[in-house]
Chains A and B, each alone.
Chain A
Amino acid sequence: MTEGLSDTELVAAFKGGDVEALGALMERHKAALYGYLLRVTKRADAAEDIFQEVFLKLVHNPGAYGEREKFKAWLFTVARNAAMDYFRRESSRRALACAEGDAPVYGEEEAPSRLDSAASPEPGPQEALENKQLGERIAAALDKLSDDQREIFHLRHYSELSFKEIAEMLGLPIGTVLARMSRAAARLREELEKAAQ
């Protein structure tokens, strides 16, 4: 019943009391939004918390989405802001832990393995090994990008918004967004070339 409806129509239906419309929205965007949050936070529990927080914002304050912008742009803007809040909290928590002489509870090196363990469906042993090695090299190259470059790369991949929409979301000129993305591509090439030598 909700299949043919646009995001905006689903939000309107939810505002009108149709709770299942929210379920349809979550179903439609869960892979992209959760994938983005997992990539950004590198923690499954944090990604799930933020995912929930984003949709609960719509539940408790339906007017927060003004329907003038694309729903996906709103969704990723809220998710990005919540992720930034998460990093601020983590930063404070780690600073406090360091001040108290405790070792950090976890670091970026403890990123969930489920991110990089994905492989093409049922490859042979040799192919699986090569895929794994290539995947590791690419993941390492992505880690070498600057935060600004990586943010735009992730937003473009997961949200599938245009660069113009991403520029509006970030409050940046589109030229800046494209320049960062261009430098990201150049850096990826350099890192993969280094890894291949």
Chain B
Amino acid sequence: MNCEYGEKLILHFYGEAGDGLASEVEAHLKGCASCRDALAALAAAEALLSKETPLPSEAVLQAVMRQARAAAHKPLFVWSWAETALAGAMAAAFLLVFAFAPQSASPDLAWNSGLDSGLDSVEYSMDQSRSELTASSGDWDYNYGVLSAEEQALSAEEV
């Protein structure tokens, strides 16, 4: 089957070619022994497989059915009436709580909540710490400067 009809031939053999293509292939087959032989070989192979009808053992089918029955008795997610009623009651309770709970209508909630003053005090504390650190650092620089001067004086005396 070295001609260009290989794929068309396959579609025709398996009944997937449209009417136009089927007629075209039929006409081609009349003059192409190679394609006829290929179809005959394909038909023989199909016939061989069709003769065989092996079946799985009954034990395999029964094993699947046993597991299916067991799974059917253990539903994964089935609501009972009691569960449905309970879920509804809980949802209603949540709605009531949110509908009637006192709410702060002010949009500038952060300013009135004390949050800002709290943040101010944190900022103030941080500023204080920074000042103290700077001051101690200054003291250290000063002390170090004095020690350096004393050391230079002693060196001069030794000379």
Contact = CB atoms under 8 A, between A and B. Distances in A.
Interface of A: 14, 17, 19, 22-23, 26, 30-31, 34-35, 38-39, 44, 47-48, 51-52, 55-56, 59-60, 114-116, 118-120, 134-135, 138-139, 141-142, 153-154, 156-158, 162-163, 175, 178-179, 181-186, 188-189, 191-193
A191 to B, nearest CB: 8
Given A141-B41, A163-B16, A189-B42, 14 more contacts: A23-B61, A31-B54, A35-B49, A35-B54, A48-B56, A51-B56, A52-B56, A60-B67, A115-B52, A118-B53, A135-B48, A135-B51, A186-B2, A192-B41
B68 A39 contact: no
7 interchain residue pairs of minimum CB distance: A182-B6, A188-B41, A178-B7, A189-B41, A118-B52, A186-B1, A185-B38
Interface of B: 1-2, 6-7, 9-11, 13-14, 16, 34, 37-42, 44-46, 48-57, 60-61, 63-65, 67-69, 71-72, 75
Nearest to A164: B16
A59 B71 contact: yes
Contact of B41 (A34, A35, A182, A185): A185
Nearest to B72: A19
Contact of B54 (A59, A114, A175, A189): A114
Nearest to A188: B41
Contacts of A135: 48, 51
Given A182-B7, A192-B44, A52 B16 contact: no
Nearest to A160: B14
A179 B45 CA distance: 18
Contacts of B55: 30-31, 34
Given A56-B67, A138-B44, A188 B38 contact: yes
Contacts of B1: 182, 185-186, 189
A55 B61 CA distance: 9
Nearest to A183: B6
A47 B72 contact: no
A31 B67 contact: no
A153 B45 contact: yes
20 contacts: A19-B65, A30-B61, A31-B53, A35-B49, A35-B54, A38-B54, A51-B56, A52-B63, A115-B52, A163-B10, A163-B14, A175-B7, A178-B11, A181-B7, A182-B1, A182-B6, A186-B1, A186-B38, A189-B1, A191-B41
B44 A134 contact: yes
B67 A59 contact: yes
Nearest to B34: A189
